[in-house]
Amino acid sequence: MTLREQQSKFALMVAKLIIHAYELGYDGVTFGDAFRDPRLHGDFGVKKGYGAANSFHKKRLAIDLNLFKDGKFLSSTEDHRILGEWWESQGGTWGGRFGDKGHPNRADGNHYSYLE
């Protein structure tokens, strides 16, 4: 599958994810990081901790979503768990699992990415 085909599939998956968030009762969804331009962040961004050199954000295959419920911004990984687990069931990778890989401080609950 080409990168463009992966990006198109990912965009459709994200659309379904947002619709599902509203179905679950979240009353707002906004975009966090959707694309990290390597020309802007590049090596400097990696040195500053702003994403790995091979970040899926730089390939347009990852997005950070901000969730709201009752008008309140939900910032914890646990706030995203039900949506993240649904995303995984659809074939995506959820950042809330990053901490499960031996790095407890790396959980990134609002991160949703394409699974190759």
Residue 16: CB atoms within 10 Å: 12
Which secondary-structure segment (H or E) carries 43?
helix 38-47
pLDDT of residue 44: 55
The Cα–Cα gap between 90 and 10 comes to: 11
Q: State the CATH number of the domain containing residue 34.
A: 3.30.1380.10
User: What's the angle, vertex CA 8, arms to CA 5 and CA 14, rounded to 5?
Assistant: 140
Question: Residue 7's domain spans which residues?
Answer: 3-113
**Average confidence (pLDDT) per 10 residues, the chain, 116 residues:** 95 97 96 69 55 74 95 94 96 87 71 88
- Number of domains the chain contains: 1
Residue 86: its pLDDT value, please? Answer: 97
In a 13 Å sphere around the CA of 91, the CA atoms on its Cβ side amount to 10
Query: Residue 26's closest CA among 86, 78, 66, 68?
Result: 68
Contacts with 94 (C-beta within 8 Å, 6 or more apart), sequence order:
80, 84, 85, 87, 88, 109, 111, 112
Q: What Rg value do the Cα atoms of the chain yield, rounded?
A: 14
